[in-house]
Structure 1
Amino acid sequence: MTKIVGYAPGAYDMFHVGHLNILRQAKQHCDHLIAGVVSDEMCLLTKGKSPVVPLAERMEIVSHISFVDEVVAEVVPDKVETWRSVQFDVIFKGDDWRGTPKGLKLERDFAAVGVDVVYFPYTIHTSSTLLRQALDGMVAGRPEAARA
C-alpha cells in the first residue's frame, strides 16, 4: 500500500481555529501531513504584508499540532518548485481559492505533475486578516499601546 503524503501550505499567522480545521481535515485525507509554513519574505511578496508572528515561532506552533507529521518553511513563491523538494501527492487549500485565477493556476500546474488539489471549507468567522484588523483597531484606539 502506497503512503499518501499531503501538503498544507499557509502563513499560519496568529494561529486560530480555521488553521486547525484545515490541518485536521488534511490529515484525514493523507497518511503523512506536511505543513508548509510560508516564510516572512514570501508573505510580504504574496500578500503585501509581513506576518505578526515570526516564522520560527509559527513553525514551532504548527509542529506541535497533533495532526501535523512534519513542518517545512516555504521559501519560494512557486508551489511546484516546493513540490520538487518536498514531494507530496496532494495539496490542501481553503475553498476561498476554488475557481479563482490563483486556484485555477494551482490546479493546472499540479495536474501536470500528478498532484491532486483538495479544497476544504474556509472558516469565514475567523481569519488572520480579521484578527489583524481587530489588533490594528485596538492599537489605533489606544495610542499608548503603539508606543509600548
Structure 2
Amino acid sequence: MTVVGYAPGAYDMFHIGHLNILRRASQECDRLVAGVVSDEVVLKAKGKLPIIPFDERLEIVRSVRFVHEAVPDLHLDKFDSWLHIGFDVLFKGDDWRGTERAERLEAALGEVGARVVYFPYTMHTSSTALRKLISVPS
C-alpha cells in the first residue's frame, strides 16, 4: 500500500524550516503532496498576507526534490483538504500540536483512518522571525 503524505503550509519566504519539514515528511511516506496555502487562507489563519506571491510560492515548493506534487491549498480546515486529496498522513510543525484546531483535526482524520505527525518547529528561523528581521509590517 502506498502511503500518501500531505504537508500544507504557506511556505512564505522559503527557509530551512520549510525544507526540514518537507525532507522529514518525505521520509515518512511513499508519496509527498505539499499543499501551498492560498493568500486568502493565510490571511484568515494568520491575519496577514504572505510576502511572496502565491504562484511563486507554489513554484518554489514544486521545485523541491522531496515533493512529488505541489497543489494549491484553498482550505482553512485541513479535513477539507483530506476530502480532496485523500492523504494518509498530514505533517505539521509541532508549534501546532495541542491547539484546539489540531485536536479537532486529529479526531476527524482518525475517523477516516488518517493521522497527524508533528515535526520539531524551527524556532531560530521562521517566516515570522524573518518578517521581523527585515521589518516588514504585519
What TM-score do you get using the length of structure 2 for normalisation?
0.95
The Cα shift of 1:102 comes to: 2.1
For residue 106 of structure 1, report the CA deviation from its aligned partner: 1.7
Residue 118 of structure 2 aligns to a residue in which SS?
strand
Partner of 2:51: 52
For 1:72-130, what per-residue CA distance to the aligned partner results, in whole angstroms no more than 9, with x for missing partners?
Answer: 10012121111111111100000111122222122112112111110001111000000
5 Å-filtered alignment, 1:1-148, equals 2-136=1-135
Amino acid at match of 2:23: R
Q: What SS does structure 2 have at the residue aligned with 1:13?
A: coil
Counterpart residue type for residue 26 of structure 2: K
Inter-partner Cα distance in structure 2 for 1:97 and 1:85 = 22
Query: Which blocks of at least 5 consecutive residues in structure 2 are unaligned?
Result: none
- Tell me the distance in 2 between the aligned counterparts of 1:35 and 1:57: 14
User: What is the CA–CA distance in structure 2 between the aligned matches of 1:55 and 1:114, rounded to whole Å?
Assistant: 31
The aligned counterpart of 1:146 is none
Q: Which has the higher helix share?
A: 1
How far, CA to CA, are the matches of 2:79 and 2:112 in structure 1? 8
What is the total number of aligned residue pairs between the two structures? 137
Shift of 1:44: 0.4
Q: Which has the larger radius of gyration?
A: 1
TM-score norm. by structure 1 comes to: 0.89
Bigger shift: residues 108-117 or 17-26: 108-117
Percent pairwise identity: 58
Choose 22-31 or 110-119, whichever is displaced more. Answer: 110-119
